[in-house]
Amino acid sequence: MPLVVMCGFPASGKSTRSQQLYEYLTLNYPSKKVHLISDHPENTNRNEIYSDSHKERETRGNLKSMAQRLLGKEDVVILDSMNYIKGFRYELYCVTKSCRTPHCVIYCVTDADTTRRWNLSRSENERYDDKLIDELIMRFECPSPNNRWDKPLFSVLPDNSLDMSEIANALFELKAPPPNQSTQSQPLSSTNFLYELDKTTQDVITSLIQSQKTAVPGDRIRIPHTKEDVMFSRLVSVAELQRHRRQFITYTKMHPVDDNSKLTNMFVQYLNKTMSN
């Protein structure tokens, strides 16, 4: 069943709103099982997580895995985290498309001064360091109703209440978006699928590395064997390209396609999404 993606500055009231929604759904939809996933379970030091990029990536990966594992026919999953990176929200959207379930985003809107004040009012073990909270505010990528992965979007101001009925309608009445080729799980139809997946993605990476030597920001890099272009907006390191390749391979192994000729298009589309974040 549906996924609720909380979003907002640190110390913007996301956990309070998550608990309110959890209680409302549990009371009014007793046949549904509601799961509340948090990025700060008991005895977790938020400053250690968000001041270390490796630990933060690991935490996001764990959150995504937990959400994917809990999504089911009669379950609702509320993901209580900043979810401040639009690329991560897009990944969560792809998970819901793959599971053929609706989702929505709840944006707890606060200004920077209010966020800092609320942070200082917390107990010491729950408080973000002053420097870190400023950095997290700077990194925040605001959700937009124009992005399909950010809608339906419910924005709530500090003095307002969540529109519970509208949120419930989005979760239980709206149809899930149809899965597309890059997210739909299909039967493995070729014994050399893994070989083709490895070769195709490596060919794309090799082509990009070579083309970057002469490309300038704004160029469209033509990739052989596909009509898709890579939008070159910045120089991307080999390490970053290989990381995107590994992520794509991992996901595609779980969701193989029925036509290997589509792999190049899918990988280029994936790169355009991830490298624009």
Q: Domains in the chain, start-ordered, CATH in brackets?
A: 3-172 (3.40.50.300), 193-275 (no CATH)
Residues 6+ apart with CB under 8 A from 148: 93, 177
Record the pTM.
0.65
194-225 tens-digit pLDDT:
888 888 899 999 988 888 888 777 788 888 87
232-262 tens-digit pLDDT:
778 888 888 888 888 888 888 777 777 778 8
Token reading at 151: 């809608």
Q: Give the gyration radius of the chain's Cα atoms.
A: 20
Q: How far apart are CA 186 and CA 180, in angstroms?
A: 11
Determine phi and psi for 51, rounding to 5 degrees. Answer: -100, 0
Residues 6+ apart with CB under 8 A from 207: 221, 223, 224
CA distance to 11, 44, 58, 70, 178, per residue, from 3 (Å): 22, 23, 20, 10, 15
The whole-number pLDDT of residue 191 equals: 52
Return the H-helix or E-strand segment holding 118: helix 112-120
Percent helix / strand / coil, the chain, rounded to 5: 50, 10, 40
- DSSP alpha helices (H): ranges in 34-106? 46-50, 53-70, 86-99
The whole-number pLDDT of residue 178 equals: 67
Q: How far apart are CA 215 and CA 234, in angstroms?
A: 9
Report whether pLDDT(187) > 60: no
Cis peptide before 158 (omega within 30 of 0): no
The whole-number pLDDT of residue 237 equals: 85
Structure-token match 């704004």, residue found: 218
Q: Nearest CA to 84 among 103, 110, 120, 66? A: 110
128-177 tens-digit pLDDT:
999 999 999 999 999 998 998 999 999 999 999 999 999 999 999 887 77
Q: Nearest CA to 119 among 4, 5, 8? A: 8
Q: How confident is the model at residue 179 (pLDDT cuts 50, 70, 90)?
A: low
Secondary structure of 254-267 as H, E, C letters = HCCCCCHHHHHHHH
